[in-house]
Structure 1
Amino acid sequence: MQRTKFGEMACSIARTLDVIGEPWSPLVLRDVWVGMSRFDQLQADLGISRKVLTERLNHLVDQGVLERRPYDQRPRYEYHLTAKGTELVDLLMVMTSWGDKWLAGEAGPPVLYRHHACGEISRVDLRCAHCGQPMHAGDVELLPGPGSAA
């Protein structure tokens, strides 16, 4: 079965899904972000098959989200977020905020965020880059952009 090529669509959501839409990819990025950089660490934490993990890592490297760095004389690599990958973690933080609100249950969120700048425990808050006001789905109007489909 051939996979739909979302990256060719004139939609930023579809293009992003082409990079991280497979369910293991965000979890691999999460683990690399928290400091698990070696294949065996990732495989053990995720319980993912070696074949699937290899495919996911290769895809994320090909997409420029992760980079490989050799750490041994044998061809062994550590995986690190690129600038592009680090910005994707911001997206994962928004997903986490939604999951904490709607799915955490009585136990509460499994992870808390301490903001380096102020030292306080906080949460992700979407704000307008221009005025600084909160910005949510009901607060915006969609307009055609320069890359919109004709």
Structure 2
Amino acid sequence: MLQPTDMDWTDPECPVARAADLVGDKWTLLIVRDSLDGKRRFSEFEKSLGVAKNILSDRLRLLVERGILTRIPNERGTRSEYEPTTAGLDLFTLVLSLRQWGERNAFGTNERHSTLVTPATGQPVPQLRPLGPDGSELKPQETLLVKVGHPAT
């Protein structure tokens, strides 16, 4: 697994920049999305995404190196499966947030698109919103960026 010290970070002190360095590529995010939707095999990703084999192979390798997916070989050593790690599962909130943003901002009125529902109710997953300590919706202007931890050496 890749260690943080092994990367050449775009902005070493910014968590958003580091996350983008790890999963910000279009194909990488779509592979993560598909893995969270239950796809496991190279052929499933390839069919779903329509991506070139060399790009898919490279992104799967990077996701394994970065600790986001784990590669599980079968008994014969062929046709491995890829499963999200704890870090990969932790990307669900990001993928859901991007999905919901896309539903609101990337489609015209009544334009056909997919949506994520809860199986028990068939209802769309509620909109993600950051909440303040009092439970009200938190706005960007109500936050403050501070540095934590030790300075980089």
Shorter-chain TM-score bucket reads: 0.7 to 0.9
Q: Percent identity?
A: 26
In structure 1, the gaps of 5 or more residues are none
Is 1:89–2:92 an aligned residue pair?
yes
Q: How far apart are the structure 1 equivalents of 2:93 and 2:119?
A: 15
Is 1:52–2:81 an aligned residue pair?
no
Is 1:105–2:108 an aligned residue pair?
yes
> Match for 1:26 among 14, 29, 34?
29
Is 1:80–2:83 an aligned residue pair?
yes
In structure 2, the gaps of 5 or more residues are 1-6
TM-score (norm 2): 0.81
TM-score (norm 1): 0.83
Q: Deviations over 1:10-48 (max 9, x none)?
A: 110111011111221000011111111100111111111
Contact 2:132-2:138 at 8 Å conserved across structures? no
Question: Shift of residue 144 of structure 1?
Answer: 2.5
Q: How far apart are the structure 1 equivalents of 2:113 and 2:75?
A: 34
Change (3 A) 1:62 1:140: same
**For residue 133 of structure 1, what is the amino acid of its counterpart?**
S
Change (3 A) 1:134 1:59: same
Question: Shift of residue 95 of structure 1?
Answer: 1.0
Q: How far apart are the structure 1 equivalents of 2:32 and 2:17?
A: 18
User: Quick check: which one's strand share is greater?
Assistant: 1
**For residue 91 of structure 1, what is the amino acid of its counterpart?**
L
Contact 1:69-1:79 at 8 Å conserved across structures? yes
> Match for 1:39 among 32, 39, 42?
42
Is 1:133–2:136 an aligned residue pair?
yes
Q: How far apart are the structure 2 equivalents of 1:75 and 1:27?
A: 23
Specify the alignment match of 1:10 in structure 2. Answer: 13
Contact 2:71-2:82 at 8 Å conserved across structures? yes
Q: Deviations over 1:49-98 (max 9, x none)?
A: 11110110000001110011123513321111111001112101111111
